[in-house]
Amino acid sequence: MRALHNVNLSLYPGQVTALVGENGAGKSTLVKILTGIYQPDEGTIALDGKPVTLASAQSAFELGITAIHQETVLFDDLTVAENIWLGHAPRTRLGLIDWTAMNSQARAVLAQMHAAHIAPDARLRDLSIANKHLVAVARSMSIDARVVVMDEPTAALSAKEINELYDLVALLKSQGKAILFISHKFDEIYKIADRYTVFRDGEQVGEGFLKDTAQNDLVKLMVGRSVDKVFPKHHAEIGGSVLAVAGLSHPTEFENISFDLHRGEILGFYGLVGAGRTEVMKALFGMTRPSAGKITVEGKPLVIDSAEGAIDAGIVYVPEERGAQGLGGGLPIFMNVSLPSLKRTSKNAVLRLKNEFDLARRYTERLDLRAASLSQDVSTLSGGNQQKVVIAKWLAMSPKVIILDEPTKGIDIGSKAAVHEFMAQLVSEGMAVIMVSSEIPEILGMSDRVVVMREGLITATFENKNLKPETLVRAAAGIAA
Amino acid sequence: MIQRLLKSREALLAAAIIGLIAAVATRYPAFAAPVNLAQAFNDTSILIILALAQMTVILTRSIDLSTASNLCFTGMAVAMLNRAHPELPIALIIGVSLLWGLALGAFNGLLVWKIGIPPIVVTLGTLTIYRGLTFVLSGGAWVNADKMSPAFIEFQRQALLGIPVLSWIAIAVIAAFFVFLRYTKLGRDIYAIGVNPTAAVYTGIDVGRTKFIAFCISGLASGLAGYLWISRYVIASVEVANGYELNVIAACVIGGISIAGGVGSVAGTVMGALFLGLIGLALPVINVSPFWQLAISGAAILVAIILNARGEKSQGRLILKKAAQA
Amino acid sequence: MSSEIIHTRQIPDRLDKPFSAAVRSWETLLLVVAFMVFVFNSFASPHFLDAWTLSDMTFNFTEKALIALPMALLIIAGEIDLSVAAILALSSTLMGFAMQFGFGTPALVCVGVIIGLACGAFNGLLVTGLNLPSIVVTIGTMSLFRGLAFIILGDQVYKNYPDSFAYFGQGYVTWVVSFELVLFLLFAVVFGFLLHFTTFGRKLYFIGRNPVSAQFSGVNVKRMKFTLFCLTGVMSGLASVLLTSRLGSTRPSIAQGFELEAITMVVLGGVAITGGAGSILGVVLAALIMGLVTFGFGLLNVPGIVMSIFVGLLLIAVIALPILWTRFMWVLKK
């Protein structure tokens, strides 16, 4: 599967080009190629008309291409000045690092960015995410970068911080730098970008000037294919309430989260990355403690303080980060599937391998898992098949509620369809599904109802009848209808 | 300001050291006399040298358990060289001890860098190998004081401006590490790969090679410490500094070096070593059996790591607007 | 391979024939090494094949191997305990202390085991309760525990343990079969069963591979790690009973360096130092090899310290060789 195919992208000095596209459209792959971390199979990259090779992170940096990543790739325990100058620090005549010059030059760069409030000798760890971004920008200014790539830099920022970042983009622009700005937020794209380019499924599907393009056209270009073709229609009987959440709150992550989930229902959770959806799900699964609120499962109020407790209550969670949170890499498929079910497959805590193989086979075959054997190491499977193993593991527990967090992120089209097909089956058997997704077609294609979150709050709940992608995008980005 | 001082490990440690000296001095004022403190520093010199090198290794998210064995092996080698050729100048002896130690450190580093064996396994292996080789080299015999040349023994005891050469060497080593770790690109790379190896790769740092260099530095320091130890305690045997690697690591841990890498300072490590050294000196003065020393340093290590861990707690992400503004 | 075929076929349990997998395993390699050392020893000394000689040999490793068993579980779960030898020393010292007050043999054994449990629980509490890395915690408690032994005993020695106490380290169950050996084999079976045939053991592998995902699968990671530290403490206490009984005396410096030998056994036995892989059979074979090597060198009048070179090289070689071999095959393929 190709992450990126036949992309022709041009960036111009003194202009901001917005790159838009759904998750998995190939945006981050492009960022990694431009910063020298991935190598393209085909094609050329030219800087000022001259072809260049970005063989390593170092060479991209030296050529003046820098990136501000969504999750900052900086050094938490080093100072601000050092994060700006690491690798090209000013030296004294003896060849030693000149900390005085480094600090004063860092102060100068920060002042130029109207970020004089950041002390050069502060530890990066003690800075807010917004200020860390500013340090990353300062790093790119310290080498007089030609190209600055910004990968969803406002995803985790507050409104005030976002405005400061816009000022910074304007400053970089006025200095003649070419900027690639990746964002999901349409209001900000129109505010700061001059051009746009749209990616969909690894291909470039459109580009142009924003002043000539209406917001709705851009949304259509991004969402693309018609929604009902790809997704299996499900006709599940929607039954009584399984899970009721009322006023769930957390000191820093979310507040006043209330919703109802019914038997046979797929409830979609839409929002931008960092809107707090995953955090809510982790609280439902007992991984974090909410500070207030009530969780009721089939009419019984519950306090869920561990994953064990959630599983016992019939709530299971397929995490977004499969590798880090869902699988025991290096261990065979059947062990991964049977892990939560060991109580049932074993007898007096003694393993019964036959039961485990039977269990694993029953659920993985239902999901159409492609594997050489059930003893194959899960980490050798493709992303889609890994996801099937994680889902099989939870199905074997016959849960009441299954939470799927970005269930099709980063997996191939075939596996995507299998996962969707399967969700339809689950609800027809009376299970209730919560699906967290940032992909609009998936949300619209699969959900019965959609909850939209923004900045830790629920901003809207929609019945999925004649629901328009534009409506969702607006609710998630906070644009008035 | 006070809050910041409280947060600083170095300040806390300095306060603990001054508190310790003051507490002992209230009953035995002579303990705080400059002469006695200078003596304490001299006694701790070797530990300081080894701890600084160990710190460099720990900063890169590695560990070197073989330092004491390296010290023992190198010490035996130079002691036997001196026995065979008493006429050789001390500069040459020191040169040999540095090279000998470097070779042993480089062997550790190569296994970590080129083959990718976890440092704890490599140095667990070389810990026994180097001490075993000491036995092979010496045939199990000791080199006693009467077999060592006067120059070999006296070198570190000579006074320069009223301070013994051993102390001067420690001061020079402290200065060298301070300059190296703070003012050279390599020194900063060592911190960077410990703080965030992924980001280090993004910045174009060769993580494996940098670890190798850290092990070489550790080897050099162990080699130097080998000569200093043998000429100080004037006996070379297979048992020299047995288990001492744990004192060295203890000094680092007390000095606030994070075992997870990337965090620590030369000042902290030096004070960590001094703290351990001072406890050893203070116990006989206040009439506590020296047998208390081990338990006290164990307790000090535990207190230090608990305090360090509290300072490193990271906060979750702020999503709610009002939480972000608060 | 067309996907159609896979789709219609049942996914098999495993592709490897269990037999051929066993032949290629680490344990087989260890068995071959053990056999070679055995043959070498029997040529090196005519006395080696004597039943009593072989019986004597087992005393070289039984106490350390008894500690290596829980250590293997701990390392598989991604933690380590460097304080085991210090726990042993403290247990032994307090047994001697208790003996002075006229404690009988059963009471002494209880003291040894309970002190081990207490020390292990203390380690476990620090690691799981305060989220501290076990390597530094146990470097600290290593000094603390042994330091306490020094405070209690100083440069003194506890001697004159009751006659019946001598059985644990010096007694024979039958003929040449020592109590220590029987106890070790018994615990090897128990730990092997625990690790390979119970749900507890299965979860350990997941904790070692990926503690976060284990937690996300409903495994109580902290409780299990705490249990392991307690178990390691108890076994160290038990080893303390054996060693104290065998030596018939206690000094605070007892069992110095045991922790590194126990860890060497575990790693040599094929347990990944990074966690998540390993077997008890491997550890038992590694213990046997180390015992055989020590003894073989002893027969040749080679001192124990020289044999430690061999063990150190073995430790590095067994980890380096598979890596180098893979690389070599890869170069050949190109």
Range A293-299 average pLDDT: 91
Q: How far is A438 from chain C (nearest CA, A)?
A: 22
Residue C278 — pLDDT band, cuts 50, 70, 90? very high
Neighbours of B101 (CB within 10 A): 30
Mutant choice from C265, C274, C293, C316 vs B, greatest count of B C-beta within 10 A: C316
User: Are B185 and A279 inside 8 Å of each other by CB?
Assistant: no
Inter-chain CB pairs, A–C, below 8 Å: 101
| C198 Cβ neighbours under 8 A, 6+ residues apart | A346, A349, A350, A351
E strand or H helix at B308, and its extent? helix B292-312
DSSP, residue by residue, A237-260: PP-SEEEEEEEEE-SSS---EEEE
The pLDDT assigned to C81 comes to 95
Ranking A146-150, A362-366, B235-239, C296-300 by mean pLDDT, the lowest is C296-300
Chain A residue with Cα closest to B313: A125
Q: How far is C223 from chain A (nearest CA, A)?
A: 12
Chain B residue with Cα closest to A56: B204
Across the interface, of B185, B195, B318, the residue whose CB is closest to A77 is B195
pLDDT digits (tens, 9 = 90+) for A111-140: 888 888 889 998 888 887 778 888 888 888
The pLDDT assigned to A1 comes to 42
Contact A60, A143 (CB under 8 A): no
Cα–Cα distances in angstroms (integers) from residue C157 to residues A24, A92, B65, B102, C169, in the given order = 71, 62, 30, 41, 18
**Token code pair at residue A392:** 């099989």
Contact B168, B160 (CB under 8 A): yes
Cα–Cα distances in angstroms (integers) from residue A291 to residues A254, A288, A306, B320, in the given order = 10, 10, 15, 14
A348 exposure class (CB count in 10 Å sphere: 0-12, 13-18, 19+): exposed
Please list every residue in chain B whose beta carbon sits closer than 8 Å to the beta carbon of residue A252.
Answer: 315-320, 323-324
Check whether A71 has a pLDDT greater than 70.
Answer: no
Closest Cα partner for A262 from A227, A225, A237, A231? A237
User: Are B125 and C308 inside 8 Å of each other by CB?
Assistant: no
Check whether C318 has a pLDDT greater than 80.
Answer: no
Q: How far is C16 from chain A (nearest CA, A)?
A: 9
Residue B304 — pLDDT band, cuts 50, 70, 90? confident
Contact with chain B for residue C139, Cβ under 8 A:
yes
Q: Where are the beta strands (DSSP E) in A284-343?
A: 292-297, 300-302, 315-318
- What percent of chain C has pLDDT above 90? 53
User: Are B298 and C256 inside 8 Å of each other by CB?
Assistant: no
Neighbours of A257 (CB within 10 A): 25
Mutant choice from A282, A339, A341, A348 vs C, greatest count of C C-beta within 10 A: A339
Ranking A225-229, A292-296, B46-50, B159-163 by mean pLDDT, the lowest is A225-229
Terminal CA-CA length for chain A:
38
pLDDT digits (tens, 9 = 90+) for A401-455: 999 998 887 676 667 777 888 888 888 888 999 999 887 878 888 899 999 998 8
The pLDDT assigned to B324 comes to 53
Report chain C's mean pLDDT, rounded to a whole number: 88
Chain C residue with Cα closest to B108: C316
Contact with chain B for residue C147, Cβ under 8 A:
yes
pLDDT digits (tens, 9 = 90+) for B50-60: 999 999 999 99
Ranking A40-54, A150-164, A434-448 by mean pLDDT, the lowest is A150-164
A350 has which bridge partners? A347, C198
**Token code pair at residue A267:** 């409830």
pLDDT digits (tens, 9 = 90+) for B165-215: 999 999 999 999 999 999 999 999 999 999 988 888 878 788 899 999 999
Check whether B8 has a pLDDT greater than 90.
Answer: no
**Token code pair at residue B13:** 């440690």
Backbone angles phi, psi at C47, to 5 degrees: -85, -10
Which chain B residues touch C if contact means CB-CB below 8 Å? 63, 111, 115-118, 120-122, 124-129, 131-133, 135-136, 140, 238, 242-243, 246, 249-250, 253, 259-260, 289, 291-299, 301-302, 305-306, 309
Please list every residue in chain B whose beta carbon sits closer than 8 Å to the beta carbon of residue C133.
Answer: 259-260, 305
Total residues belonging to chain B: 326
Query: ipTM score of the complex?
Result: 0.85
Check whether B43 has a pLDDT greater than 70.
Answer: yes
Chain A residue with Cα closest to B326: A252
Contact with chain C for residue A73, Cβ under 8 A:
no
The pLDDT assigned to A381 comes to 83
**Token code pair at residue A195:** 């051009």
pLDDT digits (tens, 9 = 90+) for A185-222: 777 888 889 999 888 777 888 888 888 887 777 777 77
User: Are C215 and A287 inside 8 Å of each other by CB?
Assistant: yes
As a whole number of angstroms, the distance between CA A26 and CA A23 comes to 8
Please list every residue in chain A whose beta carbon sits closer than 8 Å to the beta carbon of residue B265.
Answer: none
Cα–Cα distances in angstroms (integers) from residue A73 to residues B191, B198, B201, in the given order = 15, 8, 10
Please list every residue in chain C whose beta carbon sits closer than 8 Å to the beta carbon of residue B61.
Answer: none
User: Are B195 and A251 inside 8 Å of each other by CB?
Assistant: no
**Helical ranges in chain C per DSSP H:** 3-8, 18-23, 26-44, 51-58, 62-76, 84-100, 105-124, 134-153, 167-170, 179-197, 199-209, 211-216, 221-247, 258-268, 280-299, 304-333
Is this prediction's pTM over 0.90? Answer: no
- Per DSSP, C159 falls in state -
Please list every residue in chain C whose beta carbon sits closer than 8 Å to the beta carbon of residue A285.
Answer: 216
pLDDT digits (tens, 9 = 90+) for C232-272: 999 999 999 999 999 999 999 898 878 888 988 998 898 98
Please list every residue in chain A whose beta carbon sits closer than 8 Å to the beta carbon of residue C11.
Answer: 361, 364-365, 369, 371-374
pLDDT digits (tens, 9 = 90+) for A297-353: 998 998 888 899 999 999 999 998 877 888 988 899 999 999 999 999 899 889 999
Report chain B's mean pLDDT, rounded to a whole number: 88
As a whole number of angstroms, the distance between CA C147 and CA C143 comes to 6
